[in-house]
Structure 1
Amino acid sequence: MARPVGVSGSDTRQAIRKAAIQRIYRYGYEAMSLRALAADVGLRVGSLHNYIPQKQEFLGALLDEIMTALLLDFDTHMYGITDTREALLQFVRFHIEWHTARREEVFIGNMELRSLSKEQYVRVTSKRRQYERQLHAILVRGKKEGLWKIENPAITTKAILALLTGVCNWYRPDGGVTPKRLTYLYQRMVERMLQPD
């Protein structure tokens, strides 16, 4: 089945991406067959290969794309913020909002690192570390300014990220907590973690 008349290659690419994310989220990368993915978007397997020449390369590109989008969105969100406490609160807000809005992508980004080739793994995890360093820098700056007491900024960074990222595993928009309230609660939790004795 060829691409329908009036449907652009860009539209098809986006449809494939969306369908692939849903399939990997539900069944895992290893269980995703290109035949099933082609059926999801109304293509023949041969036509799908025009967009996904190799399944492994597709996964690497997808996870790399997710991390690139995260970093770009983060830079935009944090632009112009110089106050350290405000930077921490904005980091929490950004992380919660991004991870709840893109739950499936975040899940894939965390769970399917194991399925990447060595080269892909290095590329994607280097971007993850770049994001982690943003929080680490905020914490170190706040410690120097006497805003909070932190014995080990590196471990504290990892603990905060684990706390924040976990929200995408359980949060549901219809679960009785608004995104605004959820953000507020997490901001308070993080601040309490850092309060001086």
Structure 2
Amino acid sequence: MTLVSERNSADVIRAEAAKLFFDRGYDATSLRQVAAAAGLKVGSLYNHIDSKEHLLLQIMGGIMDDLMDSIRRAAAVEGDAVAKLQAALAAHLRFHAERAREVFIGNTELRSLSNGARDVVIAKRSEYELLLQELIEEAGTAGLADVADARIHVYSFVAQATHVASWFKPGGRMTLDEIVSIYTKFALRELNVPNADARVGHSTS
């Protein structure tokens, strides 16, 4: 098996496992079911994972890695501290809406991990929250935002994105671009950013 096909197999395994964990729950899903969904024999799974818990950790850790990468790339936009924060928040919201299944697993199955694996995911979450916190603090330090408590603002913005992930469906009353725009405006208003609505406009698409 080539390196490319091995990567493809690993991606398929994680994708099918995520579907099953979402639909059935982690505890009610067997590796035999994952293998069948991925079109593999059970033994072939062990070329990519050590155990079912390792598979869950791959999914939960991978979603955090992808989220961090998305936010870092978004925050690299040119502009002032609010422009960087705005871009990061828009990416944060969009990611949660587009990857809702994995977000749900990340929020509900942390309890299914053993202490060591749980610590890995928690550390990644803390790193992510710290990145958002730093962007908020930079906007406050620049005098462009009224920051009451940066960490609490982070909790608020994370909760908003998680909420969007719980109800957004493509083809609904509003497009994802419109939803991202509205929630980004809410976030900037929360920070008393001058001309928050004008800053956002339709630039989050």
Tell me whether the two structures share a fold, i.e. TM-score over 0.5: yes
Q: Which residue is equivalent to 2:200?
A: none
Distance in 2, matches of 1:72 and 1:37, equals 27
Distance in 2, matches of 1:79 and 1:12, equals 32
Q: Which residue is equivalent to 1:73?
A: 70
Which blocks of at least 5 consecutive residues in structure 2 are unaligned? Answer: 194-205
* The one of 89, 92, 110 aligned to 1:92: 89
Percent identity, aligned pairs only? 32
- Which structure has more relative contact order (CA 8 Å, sep 6+)? It is 1
| 2:35–2:42 CA contact under 8 A, matched in 1 | yes
Which blocks of at least 5 consecutive residues in structure 1 are unaligned? Answer: none
Q: State which drifts further: 94-103 or 48-57.
A: 48-57
Q: Which residue is equivalent to 2:41?
A: 44
- Compute the RMSD of aligned alpha carbons: 2.0
SS where residue 166 of structure 1 aligns?
A: helix
1:27 aligns with 2:20: no
Q: Per-residue CA shift, 1:96-124, capped at 9, x if unaligned? A: 11111111111112211111111111111
Q: Which amino acid is 1:144 matched to?
A: T
Distance in 1, matches of 2:38 and 2:22, equals 17
Cα deviation, residue 145, structure 1? 2.8
Distance in 1, matches of 2:50 and 2:130, equals 34
Cα deviation, residue 41, structure 1? 2.0
1:152 aligns with 2:149: yes
Distance in 2, matches of 1:41 and 1:153, equals 43
1:114 aligns with 2:111: yes
What is the TM-score when the length of structure 1 is the normalising length?
0.88
Q: Which amino acid is 1:171 matched to?
A: F
Cα deviation, residue 80, structure 1? 4.4
**Runs of at least 4 residues of structure 1 off by over 3 A?**
none
